[in-house]
């Protein structure tokens, strides 16, 4: 069956680079949402804890509960279930959400500084702080999200300036509403590498930690290493004669006699069908014909075939991004740390 191998060495290499960039391991919050970008929630939580990371970011409360034993704080970005827990912080995305939150929970206010996706508007910050106080919520953080940190443009600088205004406003209101100094954070993976001197309390790193960050070539290119390798086992081998076809709808026709093997990975496992007839493995095996639900065909006859070592390269063949390839991998595929 297909196997996902996770490199401890590559992961720690990436975290070393990030820690050096931001100044301390204590400033890293690893993003483990959506099964840790397909790498395995528990596997990556354990590795993160082993490295010394004490903060995590997840999508929902269910993910937070599963990894609570490995971290000191966990930020839940979305969800509708809340509990009073000293480790779990809940993101506030709208004013209306505050009304539904029970007193005593720890929250982090998300402010929309230009992404226009989630978060209260900059003009709603004061009202949000008032509502948080009235509801008896414990404000632990204020954050935003960059929309174009991976591209060379002025937008990253523009959003930084907007967030600086938010920070000043929140700090100025601290005495009025009586909350402790919250942690401020705006940087995602790409943003972390835009700073000459990192000056925030926290960086939320997802794709960089997994070694698949892609930035405009004009920006800094950190020496990150992909953590995941996807492999598959051979099911069968056959010799195709010239003119014979492979797979559904006969989309591949052999132009010569060739050795072809079928492997136990398909779109049911998350291998994107759009890459059919368009992909070549790291060791040179060509993907032939359309990917089936549970298997796919490649040139050669290796017993175990490395499908990809860098999800971004497979994503290119499928016409998408590495994120989609990673999170689409079936959670029941075995994840093995090496």
Which pLDDT score, from 0 to 100, does residue 79 have? 79
Q: Cα separation of 182 and 166, whole Å?
A: 12
Burial of 9 (0-12, 13-18, 19+ CB in 10 A): exposed
Task: Note whether 260 and 298 are within 8 A (CB).
Answer: yes
What domains lie within the chain, and their CATH numbers? Answer: 8-205 (3.20.20.10), 228-337 (2.40.37.10)
Which pLDDT score, from 0 to 100, does residue 80 have? 86
Hey, what are 143's tokens?
Answer: 């954050």
304-308 and 296-299: which strand pairing? unpaired
List of the chain residues with pLDDT < 50: none
Using CA atoms, how far residue 278 sits from 81, 273, 287, 322, in Å, is 43, 10, 7, 16
Per-residue pLDDT reduced to its tens digit, 229-269: 999 999 999 999 999 999 999 999 999 999 999 999 999 99
Residues annotated as catalytic (active site), given as ranges: 33, 248
Which pLDDT score, from 0 to 100, does residue 1 have? 80
Which pLDDT score, from 0 to 100, does residue 217 have? 92
Which pLDDT score, from 0 to 100, does residue 121 have? 98
Is the pTM for the entire model greater than 0.85? Answer: yes
């Amino acid at each position: 069956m297909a196997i996902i191998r996770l490199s401890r060495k590559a992961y720690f290499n990436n975290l070393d680079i990030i820690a050096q960039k931001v100044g301390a391991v204590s400033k890293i919050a690893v993003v483990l949402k959506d099964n840790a970008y397909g790498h395995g929630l528990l596997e990556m939580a354990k590795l993160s804890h082993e490295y010394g990371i004490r903060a995590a970011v997840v999508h929902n409360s269910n993910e937070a509960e599963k990894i609570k034993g490995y971290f000191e704080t966990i930020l839940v970005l979305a969800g509708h279930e809340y509990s009073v827990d000293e480790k779990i912080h809940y993101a506030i995305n709208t004013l209306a959400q505050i009304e539904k939150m029970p007193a005593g929970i720890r929250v982090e206010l998300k402010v929309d500084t230009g992404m226009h996706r989630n978060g209260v508007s900059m003009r709603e910050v004061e009202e949000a702080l008032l509502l948080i106080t009235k509801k008896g919520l414990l404000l632990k953080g204020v954050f935003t999200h960059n929309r174009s940190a991976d591209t060379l443009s002025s937008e990253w600088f523009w959003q930084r300036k907007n967030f600086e205004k938010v920070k000043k406003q929140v700090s100025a209101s601290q005495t009025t509403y009586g909350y402790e100094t919250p942690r401020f954070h705006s940087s995602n993976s790409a943003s972390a590498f835009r700073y000459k001197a990192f000056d925030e309390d926290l960086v939320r790193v997802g794709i960089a930690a997994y070694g698949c960050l892609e930035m405009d070539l004009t920006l800094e290119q950190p020496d990150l290493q992909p953590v995941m390798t996807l492999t598959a086992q051979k099911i069968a081998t056959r010799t195709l004669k010239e003119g014979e076809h492979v797979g559904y709808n006969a989309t591949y026709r052999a132009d010569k006699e060739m050795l072809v093997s079928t492997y136990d990975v398909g779109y049911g496992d998350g291998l994107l069908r759009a890459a059919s007839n368009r992909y070549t493995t790291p060791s040179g095996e060509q993907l032939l014909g359309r990917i089936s639900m549970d298997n796919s065909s490649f040139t050669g006859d290796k017993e175990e075939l490395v499908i990809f070592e860098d999800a971004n390269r497979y994503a290119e063949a499928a016409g998408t991004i590495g994120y989609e390839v990673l999170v689409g991998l079936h959670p029941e595929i075995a994840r093995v740390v090496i």
